[in-house]
Amino acid sequence: MTPSLDRRSRSLWMTVDVAPNARAMEGDQSCDVVVVGSGIAGISTAYELALEGQRVIVVDRGPIAGGITARTSAHLAPLCDDLTSAMIRLRGEDTAKLFYESQAAAVDRIEEIQKKEEISCDFRRLDGYLFQALNTDSAIIDDELEAVRKVGAPVHRLVGVPLRHCKDQHVLRYPRQGTFHPLKYLAGLAAAIESKNGRFYAGTVVQRIEESEGAVTVTTDRGTISAQAAVVASNSPVIDRFALHTKMAPYRTYAMAFAIKRDAIPDALYWDTLDPYHYVRLQPGDGRSDFLIVGGADHKTGEADDADVRFEALEAWTRNLIPAAQEVTHRWSGQVLDTIDYAGFIGRNPGSRNIYVHTGDSGQGITHGVAGSLINSALILGHKTKWADVYEPSRKTPSGIGNFLSENATAVKNFAEYLAPGELSSIEELKPDHGAIVRQGLSKIAAWRDVSGRLYARSAACTHVGCHLHWNSFETCWDCPCHGSHFAVDGTALNAPAITPLAEAKVGG
Ligand code: FES
């Protein structure tokens, strides 16, 4: 296996080293709870457990907090990302209310922790504005107002937001939302965990998680970890082949940052009523200039490779509504896992006794991550939690069957792609700095050529359960449309659920 050629984009947050002491694991280890995955869910769970005196290990295949959390837009908005009205329709008022409470508790918990641990992470409370998109009617605003009142969240209806062309738009204002710098926050949390003898291992690939009577063994490429319990918080769970993956779907989402003069627009969260929606938020810079973060333009992972067009559309939308936006400073993309009923899967892994899972953050990764840390830590410690049923991984959602069928159509359609011709008829046609799928006999090759002309040829079959990969030219990686794995051009698995690298392909054989 060649070393990883990770050429993915860098987000605004990625200047912070969350755990500078983290190294690859050396030799076998033991602890009370091992956490697989070091994003917001993994580190927050480790923190809650360490606070209770548990000996914790956090292990990650890449750098600590270098995965999808580092690609978030960092909004702390506790209402359902897919609209509360939609959640009530699918899951009923009582569950929607508990969902809101748990997500609001996550924001409260972040506020409390950053204060207690004295973490400088730009945390602040601010208003959130859901505003009627231009050239649409206001029916969504009316529906949503009624729904949000039903779940007991504070909300005010008004007209106009301080963005250009939006003075007559219908708006819902949600007080006391939040935002922060996610990696500064996690760096503070990691230091607090280390001060309680928690350990972080980066660059350590988890290969297997097994359990026997009262014990869990995590096998990595660097040795084994013995523990009483494991929490799998690897974005898309490495432990699962089908049970959870058939109930959620991966979406690529895009974000960009602009320089903007401080106070050019009021510091708030703004998002419109389109699907996918546009969102806007601010992040303090150094000096008199801040960052304006704008995002949206989501699509199902692997179903488009036109990031430049999407960024152009986001930029045009931004310049139309916020003329104060200056030059573009960052462009990046991330991935969200949308579940069929808008809530994540958090709790005991289906069929396991001492393995817990956290996945399906449905566009609310930060608040899900922290809500999940409260739930999984309570379950492990045998404490009561009133939110477990909302996120129970084994829950049945009969009324979500329509969503379920459409999400699974992706996998069915995907396998049919093996019968289609390659994107190029021969590997010789592949230009430098390009990737493409090439048919060779009965198999498909995921091929990339670097600028010097060197060819990297790998099997186009994802190592999770074999779906056909798609090229992502913006991130220079291979995306799996089925369950969200990403692979570097040399085949290294970058994002779960895949564990093993892509097989090398023999060209011309
Ligand atoms: Fe499941 Fe690729 S992620 S087959």
Per-residue pLDDT of the chain (509 residues; tens, 9 = 90+): 456 789 999 999 999 999 999 999 999 999 999 999 999 999 999 999 999 999 999 999 999 999 999 999 989 999 999 999 999 999 999 999 999 999 999 999 999 999 999 999 999 999 999 999 999 999 999 999 999 999 999 999 999 999 999 999 999 999 999 999 999 999 999 999 999 999 999 999 999 999 998 899 999 999 999 999 999 999 989 887 778 888 999 999 999 999 999 999 999 999 999 999 999 999 999 877 899 999 999 999 999 999 999 999 999 999 999 999 999 999 999 999 999 899 999 999 999 999 999 999 999 999 999 999 999 999 999 999 999 999 999 998 655 555 554 555 566 677 777 667 777 888 899 999 999 999 888 889 999 999 999 999 999 999 999 999 999 999 999 999 999 999 999 999 999 999 999 999 988 75
So what's the pLDDT on residue 405? Answer: 47
Expressed in angstroms and rounded, the spacing between residue 144 Cα and the centre of ligand 1 is 35
Expressed in angstroms and rounded, the spacing between residue 465 Cα and the centre of ligand 1 is 5
The DSSP line for 39-63 is SHHHHHHHHHHHHTT--EEEE-SSS
- Closest ligand 1 atom, residue 483 Cα: 3
- Closest ligand 1 atom, residue 484 Cα: 3
Expressed in angstroms and rounded, the spacing between residue 214 Cα and the centre of ligand 1 is 30
494 in contact with ligand 1, CB cutoff 6 A: no
Return the sign of the alpha-carbon dihedral for residues 251, 257, 258, 263: positive
Tokens representing residue 254 in the block: 């895009």
Q: Which residues contact 503 (CB under 8 A, 6 or more apart)?
A: 458, 459, 461, 463, 491
Closest Cα partner for 361 from 57, 111, 112, 73?
A: 73
Mutational test site, ligand 1, from 240, 413, 467, 479, max ligand atoms within 8 Å of CB: 467
Cα separation of 39 and 369, whole Å? 8
Q: Are strands 170-179 and 156-159 parallel, antiparallel or unpaired?
A: antiparallel
- Closest ligand 1 atom, residue 469 Cα: 2
367 in contact with ligand 1, CB cutoff 6 A: no
Mutational test site, ligand 1, from 485, 494, 502, max ligand atoms within 8 Å of CB: 485
Closest Cα partner for 62 from 270, 257, 209, 203?
A: 203
Closest protein CA for atom 3 of ligand 1: 483
Tokens representing residue 203 in the block: 């660059």
* Alpha-helix runs per DSSP H in 382-485: 388-391, 401-416
So what's the pLDDT on residue 410? Answer: 65
Closest Cα partner for 109 from 349, 371, 338?
A: 371
So what's the pLDDT on residue 408? Answer: 58
Expressed in angstroms and rounded, the spacing between residue 411 Cα and the centre of ligand 1 is 9
Cα separation of 148 and 79, whole Å? 8
Cα separation of 295 and 220, whole Å? 36
So what's the pLDDT on residue 207? Answer: 96
- Residue 29 Rama label (left phi>0; alpha psi -120 to 50; beta): beta
So what's the pLDDT on residue 440? Answer: 85
Cβ 326 vs Cβ 258: under 8 Å: yes
Cα separation of 83 and 193, whole Å? 35
Mutational test site, ligand 1, from 464, 468, 495, max ligand atoms within 8 Å of CB: 464
Cα separation of 42 and 233, whole Å? 5
The side-by-side arrangement of strands in the sheet containing 29-30 is 29-30, 223-227, 215-220, 206-212
Return the sign of the alpha-carbon dihedral for residues 172, 175, 177, 180: positive
So what's the pLDDT on residue 379? Answer: 98
Q: Is the pTM of this model over 0.75?
A: yes
Closest Cα partner for 34 from 227, 234, 199?
A: 227
Return the sign of the alpha-carbon dihedral for residues 22, 25, 29, 31: positive
Expressed in angstroms and rounded, the spacing between residue 467 Cα and the centre of ligand 1 is 6
Domains and CATH numbers, the chain: 420-495 (2.102.10.10)
So what's the pLDDT on residue 426? Answer: 85
So what's the pLDDT on residue 411? Answer: 67
Cα separation of 142 and 311, whole Å? 31
480 in contact with ligand 1, CB cutoff 6 A: yes
Residue with tokens 């998002």: 271
Cβ 69 vs Cβ 372: under 8 Å: no
462 in contact with ligand 1, CB cutoff 6 A: yes
So what's the pLDDT on residue 288? Answer: 76
222 in contact with ligand 1, CB cutoff 6 A: no
410 in contact with ligand 1, CB cutoff 6 A: no
Expressed in angstroms and rounded, the spacing between residue 361 Cα and the centre of ligand 1 is 18
Cα separation of 190 and 196, whole Å? 10
Expressed in angstroms and rounded, the spacing between residue 498 Cα and the centre of ligand 1 is 7
Helix axes 182-195, 40-51, angle to 10 degrees: 30
